[in-house]
Every structure is written in C-alpha cells, then in structure tokens.
Amino acid sequence: MEPGATPSAQRALDNETHAVYISTLSQPLFCRIAEIFTALGYSLYVIFRSKTHDFWSLEANVFLQHQIEQYKSDGYFLYKDLLSESQVAHFLSEIDRVCAGSTVAEHDSTRLEMEPNQPLTGKRVRRVYEPCTYYEVFKSYSESQELLDPLEQILGPDIVYTSSKINVKPAEIGSVVEWHQDMAYGPLTNRSVVALLIYLDDADIENGCLQVIPGSVPMLKHSRDGVFQGRITEPLDTSKAVHLPGKKGTALFFNGLAPHASSPNISSRPRRTLILGYRAADAFPIHLGEQSVKSDQFARIVRGHKSEVARFDMDRVYVPNYPTNTKSLYELQDLSRRTQPSQVA
C-alpha cells in the first residue's frame, strides 16, 4: 500500500497502473511479450498482496451493523483480528523493551507499576503507563486511520484520544480488576466515550479475560463514606456477567458505562492487553479541579476538530472524591480491599 493511501485509493492506483500496461501493448512483438509477462507478474503481486493480512485488516476495519447494534444495546462488542500476528509481535517486542531491567526495587515509577506480590528482585510488571503518549509505536497506532476510521462510526467525525495503558496481568500473580465503570473515574457531559482493549495474548477464563455486564446501565456508585473506591460499591447483579475470551489480536470495544472486571491470573500464561480510550469531541470532562486536569493531561484531538459546544445526555453523575496517593485503578482498588473483599469471581 502506498503510504497514506486508503484501501479504495490504493485500488484506484492499482487499476490505473493496469491501464498503463494495457495501453502500451501496441508495440513490437518482443516488447509486447515482455510487457505481458510484466503485467502478469504485477497482477499476481496485486492478488498476492490482497490475500495478505495487513492489506485486509485495513479494508476490514469497518464495524458491521450488528456490532454497532450490540454496542448500543449491550454496551460492548468483540472484534476479531483487529491486529495481525505481526502487529501483535511488534507491540510485544516494544513492551519487552520498555520493561527490560525493571524490578520491584528499581524501576521508573512514572512509567511503570510493578505487581506487588513478589520479592524486591521480582520483574513482573503490572501496568505500563500511557504508552500512546510516551512510545512512538503505540502513539502512531492510536492516531492511525486503521483505528480512527471505524471509531468514527460510533463517535462521529470529531474524536479526542484520552489515555492508554498496557495491563500485563503476568502469569500466576496478575492482579484482579474489580467491577467498575470507566466513566466513574472521570465523569463527562455525555456518554460518547469508548475504550478499546486489545488482547496481545490469547485470553480465557484461566488467565483473566475481561468480563462485562451487558445492557444499558446508568452511572453506579463507586464511593464509600464519601471517598472514591475505584470500584462499584452498590449491590451489583453479576449473574448476567459474560466472560469474553479471545485470541491475540482480538479487540473489545466498550462504552464508558459498561461495568467490567477481570479475575486474577492464576494460569502459567500472561494476559497482556493494550487499552486505549477515546471520546467524542463534544463530551467534555466535568471539571473537578486538579483531579480533572490530571485525568485529562494526555487528551488530544486525533480526528476532526475541537468542539465549540458541549453536548449533555447524563441526568446525573457521581463525583469522585479521590483519596490521596493513589496512582492507578490498581492502587485504588488495593486500598479499597483493605476494608471490603474482592467481588470478582
């Protein structure tokens, strides 16, 4: 594919090149035979390329009607093969590079969070902070046409990238993620906000695939005694929860109000995921002082334009009152579990 060409522009280019070959066939026999072979070779190349995954993954990144319907009714949908095997391998080698040499005792705590249940020499990382801002490989993916074209179908033409993370969930000690709604961490004026979680390893129940409660859910309470807990604190009917296993390269798109969780990783396999957040440009954070500034520090327009209006579709939102000294969802939930046990099966 030509750099920057859309699949349809590339097809037009391919057709044009064919036309040039055909128009030159009025030359001496010797030249014509050479050209016929060249044309044949080129055609075979085009056919071969159209069968390779990268070409198709660009063409196939369009949400289907039933996926959009499921997103509206259930709050999520699953998208197989969003990433090719080679894209997954590329991301994993970048994660290895970023995490190399880090231990519990010695790591850059502005970039990484380590799993707590290991010795000081332990190397298992829990989370890589903000990959789509700090590392070019992930940044360019977060701004790629491959991702933004389909996202336009659910967010409209003006899109803000909000934040990202890599949750490693390492083998045997990977942390639980308690039931929560992303929007509870940073309420917005409307619900046009989506997270996309991409499995970089095959994920199943044993290594802690994501679980979601389908349906249209209002914002639920995430606080106790006036302090934000980072997890749902009101009674939650988890009998309808679905596990969402998937092969590496599979993505889950879920709305900011979809309650989701994942169990600890008790398997001998990691469950690495890249998670990216986006919102419509007319969904503005409800300003809660310093905390909102912090939560929105990586936000940037990645498609279209800034919005001149804020759109409202939330009747009411809970306002999170964060405890001090917690850097992530994991740390908030660890703190919360000191007074109330885990609710994830």
Residues that bind ligand AKG in the complex, under the rule CB under 6 A: 165, 167, 177, 182, 210, 260, 262, 273, 275, 329
The rounded distance, in Å, linking the Cα atoms of 198 and 123 is 23
Backbone phi, then psi, for 157, in 5-degree steps? -75, -20
Q: How far is the CB of 329 from ligand AKG (least distance, A)?
A: 5
Residue at shortest CB range from ligand AKG: 262
Q: Which amino acid is at 174?
A: G
Asked whether 265 and 207 are in contact (CB, 8 A), the reply is yes
Q: How far is the CB of 72 from ligand AKG (least distance, A)?
A: 21
Asked whether 252 and 197 are in contact (CB, 8 A), the reply is yes
The rounded distance, in Å, linking the Cα atoms of 211 and 179 is 9
SS3 letters across 127-166: EEECHHHHCHHHHHHHCCHHHHHHHHHHHCCCEEEEEEEE
Judged by beta carbon, residue 159 or residue 244, the one nearer ligand AKG is 244
One DSSP character per residue, 20-45 reads HHHHTTSS-HHHHHHHHHHHHHHHHH
Q: How far is the CB of 33 from ligand AKG (least distance, A)?
A: 60
Judged by beta carbon, residue 162 or residue 273, the one nearer ligand AKG is 273
Judged by beta carbon, residue 200 or residue 329, the one nearer ligand AKG is 329
Q: How far is the CB of 307 from ligand AKG (least distance, A)?
A: 25
Judged by beta carbon, residue 58 or residue 78, the one nearer ligand AKG is 78
Q: At what angle do helices 7-23 and 29-51 cross, to 10 degrees?
A: 170
Judged by beta carbon, residue 39 or residue 171, the one nearer ligand AKG is 171
Judged by beta carbon, residue 178 or residue 282, the one nearer ligand AKG is 178
Judged by beta carbon, residue 14 or residue 275, the one nearer ligand AKG is 275
Task: Report which secondary-structure segment, H or E, holds 106.
Answer: none
Sign of the Cα pseudo-torsion (110, 327, 273, 84, in order):
negative
Q: How far is the CB of 261 from ligand AKG (least distance, A)?
A: 7
Q: How far is the CB of 11 from ligand AKG (least distance, A)?
A: 38
Q: How far is the CB of 210 from ligand AKG (least distance, A)?
A: 5
Asked whether 333 and 232 are in contact (CB, 8 A), the reply is no
Looking at residue 240, the DSSP 8-state letter turns out to be G
One DSSP character per residue, 263-323 reads --B-SSS---EEEEEEEETT-PBPP-THHHHHHTTT-EEEES---SS-----S------PP
Q: How far is the CB of 80 from ligand AKG (least distance, A)?
A: 18
Q: How far is the CB of 3 from ligand AKG (least distance, A)?
A: 33
Q: Which amino acid is at 332?
A: L
Judged by beta carbon, residue 61 or residue 262, the one nearer ligand AKG is 262
Judged by beta carbon, residue 275 or residue 302, the one nearer ligand AKG is 275
Give which of 313, 272, 87 is closest to 171, Cα–Cα: 272
